[in-house]
Chain A
Amino acid sequence: MLIFAVNPYHMKLLVIGVAAALLVSCSSGKKPDDEAFLQSLENQTTAGAGVDEEVINSILEQIPSPLEISVLLKESGSKYAPEILNSSNNLPKYNSNYKKALNLGVYGTDLGYTNIFGRNADGIKFITSIKSLADELNIGQFFDVETIGRLAANSKNLDSLLLITTMNFNHINHYLQAQSRDNLSVLLLTGGWVEAMQITCQTAVKNPNNKDLREKIGEQKIVLEQILLLFSFYTEDPNMASLLADMEQLKSAYDKVEISYTYKESTMEIVDGVAVIKDNSSTTINITPENVKEISDITNSIREKIIS
């Protein structure tokens, strides 16, 4: 079957062509309206060239889920520590979209942490805060508070709870990106990351001999570099520029952490229809307890600014 479909690229050409034809056909005696039209085309091009949304979105997609860190914390044997999470009492403090987006990420990480530790009653408080912030940012429709609340009521529903929460946050991010509100998406992910860092650092300081935790903090250098790259697109926003300056301090601390990578060809075999890989490459992360302390102090200071 053949249909007449408008390819987006062709559509753009069509629009430009019509515009060009209009200009050619009216070339004698340029009127003020024509100049305004030309100016509007110019402005559109400039805005598009300033921030490449495709690049931003692809970097955003790279940022790992804070849930991975929560799982590590639980498996490392560390105790559940609700006192290091953000209090839901802080919610009324968040009056700007900047603070709302950051703390939506913070509470999202806290919710994941309580879920992983099976403390669903604590999680309910975060669900309420998340829903409130999401509504105020006009993205509440993506947070299915009813289903999440029902799942949270039963600890046997952990897998479903984690699944639906992750899906909700993914939908929010995709929606914000599609709506060209990717600055909020950047803040949401950054808030979530800083909170996960803070939880990990606090846990690591209490467990100085836990090498896994130290390394986990060290390898966040890679994520921080991506976040700094994202912030570089928004330096004209005073709030984001200020946060960038703080994150640059964190980067200075991370400059002392060394990550070396050695590639070695992997091997594969098929087991039950799945390609099971043996990764023979490796990374070595050189990070001292002093590095952890410095990173932890700066992280806590940034996090304090975010949640206050």
Chain B
Amino acid sequence: MKKLVFAIFCLSSLGMSPIPDQTCDSDSFATACIPKLSGGFNFLKSYKVDGVAKDKVEYSYVFTKGTQYLINLCANGSATDGIVVSIFDKERNKVATSKINGQFVSAIAYPCNATGIYYIQYTFDDPSGHCGGSALGFKR
């Protein structure tokens, strides 16, 4: 019985250690991003960007030739809060990014010229809350 009590105590300490109050309501950010898809773009997907316990968040999607895609970013505070969205092709070549020459922008317009699986990757430049949302739209 002592072993049981000791095991519970040790594991409780491990599982319930005090941690900073870092919760991420990425769902709300993702939803808030949808109406920001302007300029004739049709909504396709919204993405939660919860990087509180990660250094990157990644999704994938089949982009098709002849279609223009728009990916935007929503976060707390400043427009992108240090969140960078990048697009990689199936061979992991970077084809687009929202950080150009050190400048952060809140959307990427990507007129796809090659059909295939693409990876939409979110990374975090410090200082960042590692928390946000994003939406993907398309138009022909």
Contacts and interface: CB of A to CB of B under 8 A. Distances in A.
Interface of A: 1-7, 10-11, 13-14, 17-18, 20-22, 24-25, 58, 61-65, 67-68, 71-72, 75, 159, 162-163, 166-167, 170, 212, 215-216, 219, 222-223, 226, 259, 261-263, 265-266, 268-271, 273-283, 285
A275 B100 contact: yes
Given A21-B8, A68-B67, A219-B115, A277 B42 contact: no
A34 to B, nearest CB: 14
B115 A259 contact: yes
Nearest to B96: A277
B138 interface: yes
A64 B60 CA distance: 10
Contacts of B42: 67, 71, 159, 162-163, 166
A61 B113 contact: no
A273 B65 contact: no
14 contacts: A22-B4, A62-B61, A64-B63, A67-B42, A75-B140, A167-B43, A219-B115, A222-B117, A268-B96, A273-B106, A273-B107, A274-B107, A275-B100, A278-B111
Contacts of A270: 100, 103, 105
Contact of B14 (A14, A163, A277): A14
B97 interface: yes
B43 A163 contact: yes
B100 A13 contact: no
A13 B114 contact: no
A226 B62 contact: yes
Given A163-B42, A277-B110, 20 more contacts: A3-B19, A5-B19, A10-B15, A13-B14, A17-B7, A18-B8, A22-B4, A24-B4, A67-B42, A159-B42, A162-B43, A170-B46, A261-B116, A273-B106, A277-B108, A279-B95, A279-B112, A281-B93, A281-B113, A282-B65
A275 B67 contact: no
Interface in B15-66: 15-21, 34, 42-46, 59-66
B119 to A, nearest CB: 10
Given A18-B7, A20-B7, A275 B115 contact: no
Contact of B115 (A5, A20, A21, A222): A222
Contacts of A72: 66, 140
Nearest to B40: A159
Question: What 4 A-B pairs have minimum CB-CB distances, sorted nearest first?
Answer: A21-B7, A10-B15, A17-B11, A279-B113
A239 to B, nearest CB: 25
B134 interface: no
Nearest to B46: A170
Contacts of A64: 44, 61-64
B12 interface: yes
Contacts of A61: 45, 59-61
A274 B115 contact: no
A170 B31 CA distance: 12
